[in-house]
């Protein structure tokens, strides 16, 4: 049993032992990303370069960066763990939970973001709804971004301790200071360059698990047969057929929660209004590239389950022992979260193991760089310039962006140590982040598609949606029986509750926005040019060949999306 031998031979109770070649692979990666930061410093001299990467990215670069900023290592390991725990149901977060929203961003929303020449999502709210809406969105986003970054940092350091036996302090400081260095030097330009590099490393480091795993099981059908043999009482290999009832699937979720809560609200909220990802697309060199970038991102996102979900399913098929939840953790027992590194150790020898670990580190760094560069932009442009120092020079704002990159990383590190002392705070902060996403989507989409929406409507809708989301969360915490009202079933699990809470808060946001807007004076149409559907001249694509049009590729991706869902129904 090679894996067992490997585990037993690992000193200090760690999962994997790295050899010299593996360490060298990781060290070269660190040297490369720092080197890229130094190289790009000379090109990041203006605010447009530092905060918007010069708005000169091709559709491919912006699209790959768009996906990579979301491909954090915790995302990789977390969803591989979910695939082991819930089976192929986890794929919903990559397909219906991402693809429609990404295509919607590209085709419907991008023209307004791009034509308005905004530098951020809060910046769009300023143009459309005024300063109060921007201030609310900017402050909440800035705070949550650095807190989330710190939580991810701590979680990553914890994972490195479990897998490799690395000291937590070492992991936190080395990885975060590396990110701080290259974002400090080259700003968003450097972050995007490294995200594209990291995207390739993630794929090349993780895909071997799936390839060799499928060879071991004799292909997809062989893997399915083994899973059914190992777990005869559960259905881990169908995406939709078990969603007719809350109690028929291990996730405790109904198809309405997946389609409306995940597929519509949470997904659209995240992919179309979370500035961390939208910022990447705003760097595109022209409108067509900006529309194509999310479509290119969607096509790659659709393939990500091959390197994330499949290793989890392969774990169900081939591992000679069963993984358990965190609550059942004990000596000699491995948890769901360890499935990806366990599969890595199962198949990858010297060099390849280093590449796989580099993929995990690259994932962490791309996620953190996304947080830090988005924080720098929102702080400098939407808080500092808007509220504190309005008429400084461009160089002053670039300098502020550089220093607040460092400050953002230091706050993240502080958060990581705070979480280390009070682990339970992690759940609350993660929930807090989710409070803003669904209502923000309601505010932005009404702002883009409904001319009658007013500044007061936008602000009070956003505030009411956010407050109601917090209220529902607190209600269920204080009185668990409220779950049957919020999530429509007492059997609903946490994920289902999150989805229904998002749905209700979005409905409340939209309702309040509509009612307040109808009761207040609308803005003149001339002030809405470039911001709202019906008041914006969107350039025609009639002169382009069919295959050059974004809508053509969006339809192609949609067709593949439906085919995949039917195949794995």
Partner 1 sequence: MHEGKGFISIWFFIGLLLFIYGILILGAGLYNLAVPPEHPVVLQNLHAGVWWGAFLLLVGGFYCVRFNPKRKGQ
Which residues of the chain form contacts with partner 1 (CB under 8 A)? 2-3, 5-6, 9, 21, 24-25, 28-29, 32, 36, 39, 43, 54, 56-58, 61, 193, 196-197, 200-201, 204, 208, 212, 215-216, 285, 345-352, 354-355
Minimum CB–partner distance for residue 208 and partner 1 (Å):
6
Nearer to partner 1, 43 or 417 (CB): 43
Minimum CB–partner distance for residue 378 and partner 1 (Å):
24
Nearer to partner 1, 97 or 186 (CB): 186
Minimum CB–partner distance for residue 12 and partner 1 (Å):
17
Q: Distance of CA 423 to CAs 77, 166, 175, 397, 435, Å?
A: 19, 20, 21, 36, 20
Nearer to partner 1, 27 or 563 (CB): 27
Q: Which residues pair with 569 in a beta bridge?
A: none
Tokens of 136: 């609310």
Question: What is residue 434's DSSP assignment?
Answer: H
Nearer to partner 1, 36 or 296 (CB): 36
Minimum CB–partner distance for residue 186 and partner 1 (Å):
12
Nearer to partner 1, 87 or 186 (CB): 186
Minimum CB–partner distance for residue 169 and partner 1 (Å):
28
Q: Which residues contact 233 (CB under 8 A, 6 or more apart)?
A: none
Query: In sequence order, what DSSP letters do the residues of 63-78 get, joined into one string?
Result: HHHHHHTT--HHHHHH
Q: Could you give the angle at which helices 59-68 and 168-217 cross, rounded to 10 degrees? A: 100
Nearer to partner 1, 349 or 490 (CB): 349
Minimum CB–partner distance for residue 197 and partner 1 (Å):
6
Nearer to partner 1, 39 or 418 (CB): 39
Distance CA 377, CA 401 (A): 7
| 560 φ/ψ angles, rounded to the nearest 5 degrees | -60, -40
Minimum CB–partner distance for residue 87 and partner 1 (Å):
22
Nearer to partner 1, 12 or 232 (CB): 12
Q: Are 154 and 423 in contact (CB under 8 A)?
A: no
| 324 φ/ψ angles, rounded to the nearest 5 degrees | -130, 170
Among candidate residues 276, 227, 274, 203, the one with its CA nearest the CA of residue 437: 274
Match 């037993």 to its residue by tokens: 8
Q: Are 517 and 284 in contact (CB under 8 A)?
A: no
Minimum CB–partner distance for residue 315 and partner 1 (Å):
12
Among candidate residues 564, 37, 116, the one with its CA nearest the CA of residue 305: 564
């Amino acid at each position: 049993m090679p894996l067992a031998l490997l585990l037993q031979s690992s000193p200090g109770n760690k999962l994997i032992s790295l050899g010299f070649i593996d360490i060298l692979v990781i060290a070269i990666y660190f040297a490369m990303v720092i080197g890229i930061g130094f190289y790009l410093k000379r090109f990041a001299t203006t605010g447009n370069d530092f905060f918007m990467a010069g708005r000169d990215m091709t559709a491919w670069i912006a699209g790959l960066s768009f996906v990579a900023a979301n491909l954090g290592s915790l995302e990789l390991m977390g969803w591989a763990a979910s695939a082991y725990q819930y089976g192929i149901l986890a794929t919903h977060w990559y397909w219906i939970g991402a693809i429609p929203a990404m295509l919607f961003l590209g085709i419907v929303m991008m023209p307004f973001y791009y034509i308005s020449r905004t530098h951020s999502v809060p910046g769009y709210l300023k143009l459309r709804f005024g300063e109060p809406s921007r201030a609310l969105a900017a402050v909440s986003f800035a705070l949550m971004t650095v807190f989330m970054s710190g939580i991810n940092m701590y979680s990553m350091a914890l994972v490195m301790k479990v897998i490799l036996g690395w000291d937590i302090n070492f992991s936190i400081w080395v990885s975060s200071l590396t990110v701080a260095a290259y974002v400090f030097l080259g700003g968003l330009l450097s972050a995007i360059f490294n995200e594209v590099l990291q995207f390739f490393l993630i794929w090349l480091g993780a895909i071997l698990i799936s390839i060799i795993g499928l060879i071991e099981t004799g292909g997809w059908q062989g893997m399915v047969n083994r899973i059914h043999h190992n777990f005869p009482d559960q259905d881990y290999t169908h995406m939709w057929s078990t969603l007719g009832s809350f109690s028929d699937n291990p996730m405790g979720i109904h198809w309405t929660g997946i389609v409306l809560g995940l597929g519509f609200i949470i997904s659209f909220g995240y992919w179309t209004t979370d500035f961390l990802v939208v910022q990447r697309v705003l760097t595109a060199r022209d409108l067509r590239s900006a529309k194509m970038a999310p479509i290119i991102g969607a096509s790659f996102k659709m393939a990500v389950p091959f390197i994330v979900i499949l290793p989890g399913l392969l774990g169900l098929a081939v591992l000679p022992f069963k993984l358990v939840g965190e609550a059942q953790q004990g000596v000699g027992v491995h948890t769901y979260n360890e499935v990806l590194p366990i599969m890595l150790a199962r198949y990858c020898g010297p060099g390849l193991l280093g590449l796989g670990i580099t993929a995990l580190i690259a994932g962490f760094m791309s996620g953190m760089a996304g947080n830090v560069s988005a924080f720098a932009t929102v702080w400098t442009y939407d808080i500092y310039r808007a509220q504190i120092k309005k008429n400084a020079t461009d160089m002053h704002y670039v300098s502020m962006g550089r220093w607040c990159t460092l400050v953002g990383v230091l706050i993240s590190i502080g958060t990581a140590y705070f979480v280390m002392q009070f682990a339970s705070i992690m759940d609350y902060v993660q929930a807090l982040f989710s409070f803003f996403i669904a209502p923000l989507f309601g505010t932005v989409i009404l702002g883009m598609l409904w001319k009658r929406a007013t500044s007061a409507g936008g602000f009070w809708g956003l505030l009411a949606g956010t407050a109601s989301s917090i209220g529902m969360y607190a209600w269920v915490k204080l009185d668990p029986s409220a779950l049957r009202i919020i999530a429509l079933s007492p059997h609903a699990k946490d994920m289902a509750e999150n989805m229904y809470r998002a749905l209700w808060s979005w409905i409340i946001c939209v309702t309040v926005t509509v009612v307040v807007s109808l009761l207040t004076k609308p803005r003149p149409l001339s002030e809405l040019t470039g911001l709202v559907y019906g008041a914006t001249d969107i350039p025609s694509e009639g002169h382009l060949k069919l295959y050059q049009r974004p809508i053509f590729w969006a339809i192609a991706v949609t067709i593949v999306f439906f085919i995949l869902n039917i195949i794995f129904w």
